[in-house]
Structure 1
Amino acid sequence: MRLPRLNRLAPFALAAPLALALAACATRPAEPAAVAAAAPVQWQAPRPHNGTLTDLTQWWQQFNDPLLTQLIDSAQALSPTLASARTRIAQSRATRVSAGATLGPALNGSASVVRGRQDFLSPLGTLAQAGLQASWEIDLFGGSRAARDAAQARLDSAQAGWHEARVSVAAEVASNYLALRACEAQLVQTQADAASRAETARLTELSAKAGFQSPANKALAGASAAQARAQLTAQQAQCDLAVKALVALAGIEEGTLRTQLAPGSATLPQPAQISVAAVPAEALNQRPDLYAAARDLVAASAEVSQSQAQRLPRVSLAGSVGPAHFDAGGITGSGTLWAIGPVAVSLPLFDGGARAANVDAAQARYDEAAATYRGKLRAAVREVEEALVQLHSTAQRGDDARAAAQGFIDSYRATEARYRGGLASLFELEDARRNAVQAQIALIDLQRERVAAWISLYRALGGGWSSTADLQSASAAGASPLSK
């Protein structure tokens, strides 16, 4: 017998006013207070605007050093840090899908066949049936929505973290490459110094044998040549270590890498200038780590709401429908069996303080995320300011360092001419040579420091990150963890 339509809808009619009554009695859990962490009004360090400004997304190409770009691409493809970031994206995406699925009803299918007697009087029979079971927990107080929002924020954070890892790997490779080129340039100076000292020692020894130089001068010249050889060996070892660091980062065979490095030996890369926004807030909006920290804060806030909702009543609705066939003692029957309900209300009464503790733990995690965000904001401001100070300092020192290097070279040449004419002592010659070499090495180190400051500024400004295109590329990377 079929039930009247009104009776079949009765459970829904009862569930609706019950849900409305519970919603009217409850309030959505309060969101934690917003974090006050304003960026400075203006930069305190001077900004560089003397050259042609360039876009950070294409910055490495502006070095006009194809090998550097190749090394960065190779290191990013092999980096375990980037591989971990891609897996975090995949995990966060799966969690987001799972959290979103709880907002809708769940549907399960079943089928069964039973043969037997229900009691001693009933004949042997077979009951076959199939059905669909549906269940739905009504999200009255926003707990499931908060869980979904938290999962989405974690996914956004993971995607930004992927780009932060890319920027970090690129900056690390560039810093090691710069260190190698500076080491090679200093090695050239050290080799020239060692050769000059060796020649002076040879000539002094010949003069001493002829009686024109004292044994003291001969010993001094020999000691100076030996010292130069030791410095040359140490400098060569430092360059070899820099090559091995690049081998480990880029995953290129050492012999192949040395062959690729040879044409540009001792030549420091020259980057294009970076545009720095006048307002710190604009520049800091480009940083993926700050965006990730902000999304972690949003996720922690949503998790507070989720834990608070778990302390409130829960309403769920179930139902089933499916065909059935019965055959026993020559009596058969077929039809559709269905049911709506039960409409269940769960009221948390006593749990030993577990739910309250969960709320406290979620609030503590939110406070931790807020403190982390504030700390990262301060660190970001500091990194940009420090890079700007270094750039300004190296620019200010450049002319003086070049003048000093040229002056010491001129002094050494004049002293060497006087020494060959017998008007200067070997002590004066060695002192002039040492000053000239040190001035040249200091100039090379200043050039390295300036390029390093540009790299630091590139990293401090987020490396060209944006919350649209780059997050889409991060999503693509996360969808295929082994693609890069």
Structure 2
Amino acid sequence: MTHRRRAGSRVLSAAVCIAALLLAGCAPNTLSLAPPSPVLPWVPADAVGAGDNTGFSVPRNPAAAQLATPPVLDGERVYQLPDLIDIAQQNNPETRIAWQQARQAALAVGMVEATYLPMISASVIAGYQNTRTPLPLRVEQALNTTGSAVVPAIALQWLLFDFGQRDALAEAAGHASFAANVNFNGMHQKLIFDVTRTYLQYGVARSRTGLADEMLRNSRAIQEAAEQRRKNGIGTTIEVAQARQQVARSELRRVTAQGVERDAYQALLGAMGVSPLTAIRVGSAENRPLPGTVDAPTEAVIRVALSQRPDVLASYAGVKAATAGITAANAGFMPKVFLAGAVASGNGRFQLDGLPAIGPQTSGSTVLIGVTVPLYDGGLRATRVKEAESRAAAATEVFKKTQDLAVREIVVASDTLSSALESNRAALNLVDTARITFDAATEAYRHGVGTITIANEAANGLLESRQLSVDAHAAALTAAASLAFVMGDLTRPADGAAYGCSTPFERPCR
């Protein structure tokens, strides 16, 4: 018997050791799921031994290649800026992300408010037990007893008073919801500005392409004049070569301008949040009027802007939420009064060999009112209070920084718009003088009075001046939209500021 017990003990010990080794070996085996080294590629398990060295490529997943359904757009329609903004607001994922964040913050308010109500839970406990007890007799007999029971219960827990902790948490959640809501509106304002900015940039790129085409036509006209002069015996081969060089330069400019235009078009589609494969016709803002003059922002104007800018309001709500967090943390030192109750019933069965079964049924109810008083927690509550105070201090500094940045953006945007308007007036004057010079130089060269060098210089000067004028006009429109944006006035697609024809200080084109 002793030998059998020792053998059984050895077998049990060996089984335990083997099981331990197997369990210990499971964790290191998972390293095979990672790349074998920092310089060797990861290869999927089903590709190992396939004989195809795919390098650092990854397995394809067709599910990840499913593209979202693009918006239905009219390929023959010319879309103006309000139309583009409307499409962006309906399709840009940034607005949907901000919307979901606002919904999450609103649901957080509901979760805090739910703590004011009692919590009711139902539970069922069931069990079965079989006991065999050997009797102290020489014959092999034992006493069998079986028992089973099912106990359903309904319990209630209700926090009645907590010295304002839930009130503080509800206040903090409310401020967080307000911040999420103004950030949602702010996201739409930013979207309006981004679409406006990229729309104007695309317009500049298209204008540059048109100017490059016109420059190419002018260069070819000068080349024809040079070749005609040579046929008439008053021109030289050098003049023809210079004219051809100018045509080649103009062709290069056109190709470059076309590439910039394509990039600007993709930037516009990206700001709208639509597929880069979308093909639409976009209207022009070349004839959009500009404001006359812009006054420097006064303190009163800046205060109005700060009172309506989403980022400033969200930052201020963050300060309020953090301050409420201090109150909630301090309430952790106070006792809590709660109400608890339970209703339960039981249905059991007990049976002993040879005797009739016993099936008792019981029920009971309990109502308790209790008070919990925190005594010692190792400094956890005090640490929470300090953390809440630190969060409130940090939120206050963030609010100050946001205010300072907003004021600086307003002042810079106002100065930028003033400079852009002055640049636009100077560029218009430059175009007028360059056009007169170009017409005179071209006409003189055709009649054999001027030189081709002067004609080419005049053509280049006209192109440069017209490009500067287009850039200055678009820069003024963008600066006006930027000023409206940093002032918190760029709120609707139909706003005049969205077209750059008005500013928060002057609204002449409503």
Pair in the same fold by TM > 0.5: yes
Map of 1:35-46 to 2, 5 A cutoff? none
Q: Could you say what secondary structure the match of 2:448 adopts? A: coil
Which residue is 2:103 aligned to? 90
Map of 1:236-315 to 2, 5 A cutoff? 236-250=258-272, 257-258=279-280, 260-261=281-282, 264=283, 267=286, 269=288, 278-315=300-337
Tell me the distance in 1 between the aligned counterparts of 2:411 and 2:366.
68
Shift of 1:376: 1.2
Aligned amino acid, residue 395 of structure 1: L
Deviation by residue 1:54-106 (Cα, 9 ceiling, x = unmatched): xxxxxxxxxxx853222222222222222221221222122221122223332
My pick for the range that moved more, 413-422 or 457-466, is 457-466
Which residue is 1:70 aligned to? 83
Whether 1:341 and 2:373 are equivalent positions in the alignment is: no
Aligned amino acid, residue 424 of structure 1: G
C-alpha RMSD of the superposition: 3.5
Tell me the distance in 2 between the aligned counterparts of 1:253 and 1:195.
35
Correspondent of 2:428 among 402, 423, 437: 402
Cα gap change, 1:269 to 1:244, in 2 (>3 Å): farther
Tell me the distance in 2 between the aligned counterparts of 1:337 and 1:191.
94
Which residue is 1:415 aligned to? 441
In structure 2, list runs of 5 or more residues that go unmatched. 1-77, 134-144, 351-355, 493-510
Shift of 1:159: 1.1
Tell me the distance in 2 between the aligned counterparts of 1:116 and 1:414.
113
Tell me the distance in 2 between the aligned counterparts of 1:321 and 1:107.
11
Tell me the distance in 1 between the aligned counterparts of 2:247 and 2:329.
75
Cα gap change, 1:298 to 1:252, in 2 (>3 Å): closer
**In proportion to residue count, which structure has more helix?**
1
- Contact 1:179–1:448 under 8 Å retained in 2: yes
Which residue is 2:24 aligned to? none
Tell me the distance in 1 between the aligned counterparts of 2:453 and 2:291.
44
Q: Could you say what secondary structure the match of 2:450 adopts? A: coil
Which residue is 1:213 aligned to? 235
In structure 1, list runs of 5 or more residues that go unmatched. 1-64, 467-484
Whether 1:105 and 2:131 are equivalent positions in the alignment is: no
Q: Could you say what secondary structure the match of 1:310 adopts? A: helix
Which residue is 2:93 aligned to? 80
Cα gap change, 1:283 to 1:248, in 2 (>3 Å): closer
Tell me the distance in 2 between the aligned counterparts of 1:255 and 1:343.
67
Aligned amino acid, residue 98 of structure 1: M
Whether 1:435 and 2:461 are equivalent positions in the alignment is: yes
Whether 1:157 and 2:179 are equivalent positions in the alignment is: yes
Which residue is 1:187 aligned to? 209
Aligned amino acid, residue 92 of structure 1: A
Tell me the distance in 1 between the aligned counterparts of 2:160 and 2:490.
43
Which residue is 2:380 aligned to? 354
Cα gap change, 1:337 to 1:230, in 2 (>3 Å): same
Deviation by residue 1:396-443 (Cα, 9 ceiling, x = unmatched): 344333222112111211122222222222222222222222111111
Tell me the distance in 1 between the aligned counterparts of 2:391 and 2:466.
54
Deviation by residue 1:265-317 (Cα, 9 ceiling, x = unmatched): 57455589999995322222221111111111111111222223224444433
Q: Could you say what secondary structure the match of 1:319 adopts? A: strand
Shift of 1:379: 1.5
Tell me the distance in 2 between the aligned counterparts of 1:285 and 1:309.
32
- Contact 2:153–2:344 under 8 Å retained in 1: yes
- Looking at both structures, which has the greater relative contact order when contacts are Cα pairs under 8 Å and sequence separation is at least 6? 1
Map of 1:3-82 to 2, 5 A cutoff? 67-82=80-95
Cα gap change, 1:281 to 1:268, in 2 (>3 Å): same
Whether 1:377 and 2:377 are equivalent positions in the alignment is: no
Deviation by residue 1:8-29 (Cα, 9 ceiling, x = unmatched): xxxxxxxxxxxxxxxxxxxxxx
Aligned amino acid, residue 418 of structure 2: H
Cα gap change, 1:286 to 1:356, in 2 (>3 Å): same
User: What is the TM-score with the length of structure 2 in the denominator?
Assistant: 0.68
Tell me the distance in 2 between the aligned counterparts of 1:253 and 1:324.
64
Aligned amino acid, residue 155 of structure 1: S
Aligned amino acid, residue 410 of structure 2: V
Map of 1:456-475 to 2, 5 A cutoff? 456-463=482-489
Shift of 1:245: 2.1
Cα gap change, 1:465 to 1:401, in 2 (>3 Å): closer
Tell me the distance in 2 between the aligned counterparts of 1:69 and 1:235.
26
Cα gap change, 1:253 to 1:361, in 2 (>3 Å): closer
Q: Could you say what secondary structure the match of 2:85 adopts? A: helix
Which residue is 1:227 aligned to? 249
My pick for the range that moved more, 339-348 or 365-374, is 339-348
Cα gap change, 1:195 to 1:335, in 2 (>3 Å): same
Correspondent of 2:471 among 422, 427, 445: 445
Correspondent of 1:170 among 192, 199, 207: 192
User: What is the TM-score with the length of structure 1 in the denominator?
Assistant: 0.71
- Contact 1:286–1:462 under 8 Å retained in 2: yes
Task: State the aligned residue count.
Answer: 396
Cα gap change, 1:423 to 1:116, in 2 (>3 Å): closer
Shift of 1:320: 2.4
Aligned amino acid, residue 300 of structure 1: A
Cα gap change, 1:102 to 1:254, in 2 (>3 Å): closer
Shift of 1:233: 1.0
Whether 1:201 and 2:229 are equivalent positions in the alignment is: no
Cα gap change, 1:218 to 1:332, in 2 (>3 Å): closer
Cα gap change, 1:270 to 1:174, in 2 (>3 Å): farther
Q: Could you say what secondary structure the match of 1:141 adopts? A: coil
Tell me the distance in 2 between the aligned counterparts of 1:91 and 1:280.
32
Tell me the distance in 2 between the aligned counterparts of 1:191 and 1:204.
20
Aligned amino acid, residue 455 of structure 1: A
Cα gap change, 1:272 to 1:399, in 2 (>3 Å): closer
